[in-house]
Structure 1
Amino acid sequence: MARVYLDWNATAPLRPEARAAMVEAMDLVGNPSSVHAEGRAAKALMERARGDLAEALGAGAADVVFVSGATEAAALALAGRGLHGAAIEHDAVRAWVTEDLAVDANGRVAVADPGTSTLQLANSETGVVQDLPGGLAVSDWTQGFGKLPVAFDWSGVEMAFVSAHKIGGPKGVGALVLRRGLDVDPRIRGGGQEMGRRSGTENLVGIAGFAAAARAAARDLAEGAWERVDKLRNILEKTLEASARETIFVGKGVSRLPNTSLMVTPGWKGETQVMQMDLAGFAVSAGSACSSGKVKASSVLRTMGLSEGDAGCALRVSLGPATTEAEVTAFAEAWIAAHDRFRRRGR
């Protein structure tokens, strides 16, 4: 079998629709800020893309701000606001908040004052989905968007942000969406692009790919693609549980993303499992792609009450609509074989 990609939460493979839209956008020579015909053509493409993304988000087009990715969007939404957050948030959020929101053993967060708080829609490592309270100041939708039905205008959230490459768009482009009537202090000043909220010539090629990916992601949701993925994830966990009874599947008792399985096998280091599975032909991770290169236990799992040792023994498998049952079965067989070797060595 060819290599199998099971790290969709780190980045999703580029969708063919996004690739085609990007190639088409490359042929447009104009700057979206120019007033001549070429500039107007570029501007028209960008605004169509903004409208398509807004529709997928359930928001108004004028409320969508294109940026370089979710990290920049987080800074734009959070910097200088003194909001409260939890230690399970992405590092791009934790950099700007006071980490004092309580987290339970299942990774669920209690928010006392939504108007002064930020809370992610879903966690990239555990897949645990949060119930977002009305009036929430900011929410990271990077992992949930495209996998869960969302409607910004009905969510009660004041600001949310997303990233293209998590839904099969290109890397290096994202968006911040704001409640109508709200605004942000620009972090990047200059020519006043993006309605004065983010200066710099827009990444037209990336934006075109982002919008195409958002349209395709909305289609997948409507057609039940993630329900099939959820069934595959459950098959995987049931198969592994039968052979590794000591393995913990984090967040299994609460709502999770349909594609995410984070397993902890005490004594078996996560990075060791990643290397063994990589050699066997499977791409998986030991946690968030932004931290998996660091040899340290997951702060998310430590916050949920796991010991330092157990938190360092996590392996994340994240599936996607293109994942097949044969690939899941092949991974399960490879992991079980490696687990059997680990147990024999431990005796």
Structure 2
Amino acid sequence: MTTYFDHAATTPVRPEAADAYLRASQVAGNPSSLHAAGRAARRVLEEESRESIAADLGADPAEVILTAGGTEADNLAVQGIWRAAAQAGRPGLVISAVEHHAVLETAHHLAAHEGAETRELGVDATGVARIDELEALLAEQGEQIGLISLMWANNEVGTLQPVEQVAALGAAHGIAVHSDAVQAVGQVPVNFAASGLDALSFSGHKLGAPIGIGALLARRDLTISPVQHGGGQERAVRSGTLPVASFAALAAAVHAAAVDLEAEAVRRARLRDRIIAEVLAAVPDAQLRGAPGQGRLPGNAHFTFTGTDSDALLFTLDAAGVCASSGSACQAGVQQASHVLLAMGADDGAARSALRLTVGWDSTEADVDALLVALPEAVARARAAYRPRPSQRTGAITKEAS
């Protein structure tokens, strides 16, 4: 039997989302067509999907731009908003050092190839962005900055960021602010209008919809340069025929998460806190990473284990029937230290010894029982397999699994 603790990578499809997909897939019509079948598809797309998503996330339906997932939504926001701002004479782009690679690599590409003046904000030891650095930067160069992008919640350590404070700072300087909320939507309250943000990205498969769907929420007066061109769908910034059934499933998943959000957050936090307490008791030298208590996602527990390598730890857990991860699934199999942990001040060895345990809508106490049986032995075996290797950061000796 497999026990699943990798909900931050993807979570099982909710029954409500599967049902919505099946029903909508029976509607045969291109939502851009004018005939009866097209109008029927359009009703599902607009009335049952876009309007539902907007209502659950505190947005206007016209602000919901449907995409193929979080990575596309992040790229559309960072590229599209920055290019429009750069054309208006504001080439500055500010991100945090702990962003998901969908934002981080996009910002680096714009800097290398299109002249973006990219700045990375540092973070403290818990992973919270240094707002003092941002305030100093805005005081000095605010008129040159066109976009700030700060994730709502970190995908590795679960730390929540002060997005509303950053949105207010951006507004005071006339700077658009975007947030990658892929990990936040469905776990913590997200209200687009109340946040003050100009744009917000999220992904369906993190909250119980199928993989391959997501959305960008963008204020109606926000100028975005298209990243792809075609028939002019989605405010002419994201052309392409829309998969009606997929977005019906997305709306159903968002709604299912929204209506039960408070109680579900309490339930997940109880599982998370049990994991944290019992892991630290069973492996006393384990180190919890990320912000404490209410400063982290309710479903995230992230540890480093001195004298282990993440891959060896994960393989051992997998053999015991426990699915977990060391961090972003987008970087799985890449032999490098976590950029998030390094930015938080961890040394290279610690940044290679991470274990991310994330619970979701279908996680149970029995799952936690199975994890806690398997983990101490997995740590012991990973430590027994340890051997030195050169550090990426300093050339010093760290260790890896054999």
TM over 0.5, yes or no?
yes
Q: 3-state SS of the aligned residue for 1:116?
A: strand
Q: 1:283 to 1:344 in 2, by over 3 A?
A: closer
Residue identity matched to 2:76: L
- Which residue matches 1:123? 154
Q: Which has the higher helix share?
A: 2
Deviations 1:36-60 (CA, angstroms, capped at 9, x unpaired): 0000000000002001111121100
Q: 1:184 & 1:23 partners in 2: Cα distance?
A: 33
1:225 aligned to which of 264, 279, 296:
264
Q: 1:181 & 1:50 partners in 2: Cα distance?
A: 18
- Which residue matches 1:183? 223
Q: How do 1:30-69 residues align onto structure 2 when only pairs under 5 Å count?
A: 30-48=29-47, 49-69=49-69
Q: 2:251 & 2:106 partners in 1: Cα distance?
A: 28
- More divergent stretch after superposition (90-99 vs 312-321): 90-99
Q: 2:290 & 2:284 partners in 1: Cα distance?
A: 16
Q: 1:201 & 1:211 partners in 2: Cα distance?
A: 18
2:103 aligned to which of 68, 75, 93:
93
- 1:17–1:209 Cα contact (<8 Å) kept: yes
- 1:145–1:162 Cα contact (<8 Å) kept: yes
- 1:86–1:101 Cα contact (<8 Å) kept: yes
Deviation at 1:336, TM superposition (A): 1.4
Q: 2:147 & 2:42 partners in 1: Cα distance?
A: 36
Q: 1:183 & 1:44 partners in 2: Cα distance?
A: 27
Deviation at 1:242, TM superposition (A): 1.0
Q: 1:219 & 1:60 partners in 2: Cα distance?
A: 18
Residue identity matched to 1:119: L
2:125 aligned to which of 75, 97, 105:
105
- 1:66–1:175 Cα contact (<8 Å) kept: yes
- Which residue matches 1:75? 75
Deviation at 1:340, TM superposition (A): 3.8
Q: 1:290 to 1:343 in 2, by over 3 A?
A: closer
Q: 3-state SS of the aligned residue for 2:357?
A: strand
- Which residue matches 2:18? 19
Q: 2:225 & 2:359 partners in 1: Cα distance?
A: 37
Q: 1:23 to 1:9 in 2, by over 3 A?
A: same
Deviations 1:17-37 (CA, angstroms, capped at 9, x unpaired): 111111111111100000000
- Which residue matches 1:330? 370
Deviations 1:278-320 (CA, angstroms, capped at 9, x unpaired): 1101110011111122111111101111111110000100001
Residue identity matched to 1:103: V
Q: 3-state SS of the aligned residue for 1:271?
A: helix
- Which residue matches 1:238? 277
- 1:69–1:164 Cα contact (<8 Å) kept: yes
Residue identity matched to 2:157: T
RMSD, aligned CA:
1.6
Gaps (5+ residues) in structure 1? none
Residue identity matched to 2:68: S
Residue identity matched to 2:302: L
Q: Does 2:308 match 1:298?
A: no
Deviation at 1:180, TM superposition (A): 3.2
Deviation at 1:203, TM superposition (A): 1.5
Q: 2:152 & 2:385 partners in 1: Cα distance?
A: 40
- 2:182–2:201 Cα contact (<8 Å) kept: yes
- Which residue matches 2:393? none
Q: 1:253 & 1:215 partners in 2: Cα distance?
A: 28
- 2:307–2:383 Cα contact (<8 Å) kept: no
Q: Does 2:252 match 1:253?
A: no
The sequence identity of aligned pairs, in percent, is 40
Residue identity matched to 1:213: A
Q: 3-state SS of the aligned residue for 2:260?
A: helix
- More divergent stretch after superposition (240-249 vs 76-85): 76-85
Q: 1:343 & 1:95 partners in 2: Cα distance?
A: 33
Q: 3-state SS of the aligned residue for 2:303?
A: strand
- 1:270–1:286 Cα contact (<8 Å) kept: yes
- Which residue matches 1:213? 253
2:206 aligned to which of 166, 169, 172:
166
Deviation at 1:76, TM superposition (A): 1.2
Q: 1:37 to 1:102 in 2, by over 3 A?
A: same
Q: 1:238 & 1:277 partners in 2: Cα distance?
A: 19
Q: 1:249 & 1:43 partners in 2: Cα distance?
A: 48
Residue identity matched to 2:3: V
Deviation at 1:220, TM superposition (A): 2.2
- Which residue matches 2:243? 203
- 2:313–2:382 Cα contact (<8 Å) kept: no
- Which residue matches 1:148? 188
Gaps (5+ residues) in structure 2? 83-91, 108-117, 171-176, 387-402
- Which residue matches 1:280? 320
